[in-house]
Amino acid sequence: MKPAKAIIPKLDDVAQRAGVSTATVSRYYNNPAIVAPATAERIRAAIDEMGYVPNLLAGGLASNRSRLVAVLVPEIAQSIFNDTIEAMASELSLDGNTVMLGLTGAGNARMPQLIEAALARRADAIILTGIITDDGTRERLRERAMTVIETWGVPEDPIDIAVGFSHQAVGRDVARFLHGRGYVRPLLAVAEGARARQRRDGFLEEWRTTGHDAPTVIDVPLPTRFGHSRMVWRHVSQMSTPPDVIVCGSDVLAQGVIIEAQSAGFRVPDQVAVVGFGNLAIAGDMRPSITTVDVDGARIGREAVAVLRRRATGDRIAQKVIDVGFRLIARESA
């Protein structure tokens, strides 16, 4: 049984108890440097005694700063973005900000509603990993002068600021690496997302320059599941001339393909090599360990928050795109 509603102390109660005006208590919270030490001490005591918790709804309304940051991602169940989200949440809570989580769903279907929700809460910023396809929404965000940080990709024309790396470049580097190792018949298992396709395009473009035949490409549904690896392997086992290396859209998929290959009696990488993407923990720990592309997801999160911090201090930020790069990590699987 819930007890009757308790009276929640407000700023004015604290002020009276401390013998000051509400203005001073407000300053104690928002600009402590300008209140006299003795006064601050009295206020602190009053707050403690009453168990006062400021009302950020009221504060946000008055100051026009919600201290809310909307973080919009496709999903979190198996997401490669989770490190980024985690880093952002930690960093943001350090300076009193809160993450409002929005899941845009497959194909970013719910993106418009979530943007709307973020605007309705007067979020101070919106951080995305997906892409805003709706021109109306893009326009509206621009008009509002909203801080919008697009992460993981580096679009040609960011709405505002972008933090990420070039997926084309990843594709190119992987192609070059595999060519260098002497592989000649790669197979690409590409997820349906826009970024995965950029990696594919980068790969194909680079591969063309090697003079080899164009690689086979098969599509894998999003979100990537471990089980999709069976699909991939089934496809592979039916090919007349099987690939010598399978380039997977994610480490999870790569791991699955390796397990399937092994259980079908194939040796990895001798008979078939495998490359992943993301450098998840499993990539390093798998047997054989997985050759993959490392992306510092946490750093993306931190850089994004750093941008927010600079904006908060009135900084202008000339650099619209922050490229955090990536590293190809050669391990046992390829």
Partner DNA sequence: GTTTTCGGTGAAAGCGCTTGCATGGCTTTT
Partner DNA sequence: AAAAGCCATGCAAGCGCTTTCACCGAAAAC
**Rounded Cα gap, residues 193 and 108, in angstroms:** 10
List Cβ neighbours of 2 (8 Å cut-off, separation of 6 or more): none
Exposure on the CB side of residue 82, measured as CA atoms within 13 A: 9
Q: Find out whether 334 and 275 touch, Cβ atoms under 8 Å.
A: yes
Q: Tell me the per-residue interface mask from 302 to 331 with a second copy, x by CB under 8 A, - otherwise.
A: --------------x---------------
The DSSP bridge partners found for residue 190 are 219
For 29, other C-beta atoms within 10 Å of its C-beta total 14
212, interface contact from a second copy, DNA, none, CB < 5-8 Å by kind:
none
Q: Which stretch binds a second copy (CB under 8 A): 168-176, 266-274, 276-284, 301-309?
A: 276-284
Quote the least distance from Cβ 312 to a second copy, whole Å. 14
Please list every residue from 282 through 301 that binds a second copy, using CB under 8 A.
Answer: 282, 284-287
59 or 158: CB nearest DNA: 59
Q: Which residues form the interface with DNA (CB under 7 A)?
A: 8, 10-12, 19-27, 29-30, 34-36, 38-39, 52, 54-55, 58-59, 61-65
Tokens of 219: 């599509």
Which one of 60, 155, 158, 242 is in contact with a second copy (CB under 8 A)? Answer: 60
Q: Of residues 234-263, which lie at the interface with a second copy (CB under 8 A)?
A: 256, 259-260, 262-263
The number of residues in the chain equals 334
Main-chain dihedrals φ then ψ at residue 248, nearest 5 degrees:
-100, 150
Query: Closest by alpha carbon to 127, among 168, 167, 97?
Result: 97
Please choose which of DNA, a second copy, none residue 90 contacts, taking the beta carbon within 5 to 8 angstroms, the exact cut-off set by kind: a second copy
Q: How far apart are CA 54 and CA 10, in angstroms?
A: 7
76 interface partner picked from DNA, a second copy, none, CB below 5 to 8 A per type: a second copy
Q: 232: which 2 tokens?
A: 């991939």
Q: What DSSP line would sit under 261-323, residue for residue?
A: HHHTT--TTTT-EEE-SB--HHHHHSSSPPBEEE--HHHHHHHHHHHHHHHHTT------EEE
Q: How far is the CB of 93 from a second copy (least distance, A)?
A: 7
Cβ pair 247, 189 in contact under 8 A: yes
What are the DSSP E strand ranges found in 41-185? 68-73, 98-103, 125-128, 147-152, 161-164
User: Toward DNA, which CB reaches closer, 92 or 132?
Assistant: 92
173 binds, among a second copy, DNA, none (CB under 5 to 8 A by kind): none
State yes or no: residue 225 binds a second copy (CB under 8 A).
yes
Question: Which partner in a second copy, DNA, none is near 116 (CB below 5 to 8 A by kind)?
Answer: a second copy
Strand arrangement of the beta sheet that strand 245-248 belongs to: 216-220, 186-191, 245-248, 273-275
We find the least distance from the C-beta atom of residue 115 to DNA, in angstroms, to be 17
Judged by beta carbon distances under 5 to 8 A according to partner kind, the member of DNA, a second copy, none in contact with residue 145 is a second copy
Subset of 66-85 contacting a second copy (CB under 8 A): 66, 71, 75-78, 82-83, 85
Residue 262 interacts, among a second copy, DNA, none and using kind-specific CB cut-offs from 5 to 8 Å, with: a second copy
Binding residues vs a second copy (CB under 8 A): 1-6, 8, 51, 53-58, 60-61, 66, 71, 75-78, 82-83, 85-86, 89-90, 93, 96, 98-103, 105, 110, 113-114, 116-117, 119-122, 140, 142-145, 160, 225-227, 229-230, 256, 259-260, 262-263, 281-282, 284-287, 316
